[in-house]
Amino acid sequence: MPQPIFPEYSSSPDRNILPRISTNIKGDYKLINIKMKKKVSILVESLNILLAFITFIILSIIFYQLLIYYLTSRNNTLEKIPLNNNETFENLILRLNDIDEDKPKEEDIIISWGNLIKHSGTSKIQKPLFTYVNEDLFKRPVYKSLIDIYNNLIFRPPVCKEDLEIEGKKKKLIDNFLNVYTNTTIFKMAYKYLVDTYKISNEWNNFYNRLHVFWFGTYSRCHGALGSSGWEHVFSGEWKNDEIDGHHNWIRYYLLQQENRIKYYGHMGHTGNVTGKIQYTWDGYLKKVGGFFMKTSPSFDFTVLTLCSLPEYGKRLCHFKIYDYDIVVTSFHQKCLEGICLSTAYPS
């Protein structure tokens, strides 16, 4: 009888190893299959991430191109304005006043000038300067964006106290104000005039940055605290010692009047209902001789004051007519942290 070649295997109870090999193969196959699925899943996930990234890049490029197109073409449709001389500047101001969509109607504001006073000392308190204002005006964006700044108290009247940094809520409110005002038809026309006449940059971003610094750049009026800016001085008003500095906006005045914080003493002359010299106190601080545009939109004020003060630095006298009245805007500049800023601008 033939002997087994490997007797030790022949005597083993597991005489057939094929089933075990088959089981191992199946197990290995499942393991390989799982690993393959994981690799495929990782590959698909990586491809999805790559696709999302590429999509993001493409959309960013498209958005950037649209933004550049918007910024460079926003003034391309504006009417061509001739080069500067006194007559054309006056015509421009008249045209801005005529087409101002936010200008109050005659019946929207009633003014009571009160008594004529001939000295700078306080007189008897008169009836309020503004007898009536149609406050539906304040729902319009150019009014609302201005009043939002007042209501949020981001500028503080004491000029010798440090101003809040332009960040957070303050930055958001200022950016909104500038965005609303620079997108009005009248400001776009004014910007075109500045570009054509004074060779001011037609690159919108450069101009916008200059405008922001010009109006909102901070400086000190007290040899120390950076507590002032052109915008704060003109549109909000400041307190220094016992007197009011600036405060050349009728909406600001009216809102303070409605809060019973203004005592009106009378006027020293007025130019129709366009502007006038008035005397009053605000929370006890005296304005010996004050004045601002009356019955105009705040966007008109901002546009005209920018036209009169931005192009050339130093003291400027800007002459024009409104409703056949001769108006002079006086403006001054000064150095600030960011360059050259507006010190004041007011009509008379």
220: left (phi over 0), alpha (psi -120 to 50) or beta: beta
Give Rg (Cα) of the chain. 36
Question: In the chain, where are the structural domains located?
Answer: 1-73, 83-347
Q: How are strands ordered across the β-sheet holding 325-336?
A: 316-322, 325-336, 339-347
Q: Give residue 35's pLDDT.
A: 66
The order of strands in the sheet holding 275-282 is: 238-240, 243-245, 285-290, 275-282, 262-271
Side-chain-side CA neighbours of residue 295 (13 Å)? 21
- How many C-beta atoms lie closer than 10 Å to residue 147's C-beta? 16
The secondary element (H helix, E strand) that includes residue 147 is helix 141-151
pLDDT reported for residue 78: 45
- Count other C-beta atoms under 10 Å from residue 333's C-beta: 20
Q: CA 164, 166, 168: angle at the middle one, nearest 5?
A: 100
Q: How far apart are CA 339 and CA 267, in angstroms?
A: 37
Residue-level pLDDT at 101: 94
| 196 neighbors 78 (Cβ within 8 angstroms) | no
Task: For residue 176, give both structure tokens.
Answer: 């909104």
Whole-model pTM: value is: 0.74
Token couple for 336: 């600030």
Residue 69 has a pLDDT of: 43
Strand partners, 257: none
Residue-wise pLDDT tens for the chain (348 aa)?
555 544 444 444 554 555 555 555 556 566 666 667 777 678 777 777 887 778 777 876 665 455 444 444 444 444 444 444 444 888 999 999 999 999 999 999 999 999 999 866 667 889 999 999 999 999 999 999 999 999 998 888 888 887 778 888 999 999 999 999 999 999 999 999 999 888 788 899 999 999 999 999 988 888 777 878 999 999 999 999 999 999 999 999 999 999 999 999 999 999 999 999 999 999 999 999 999 999 999 999 999 999 999 987 767 888 999 988 999 999 999 888 888 999 999 998
Phi, psi of 283 (to 5 degrees): 50, 35
Give the three-class secondary structure for 5. coil
21: helix, strand or coil = helix
Phi, psi angle pair for 198, to nearest 5° = -110, 5
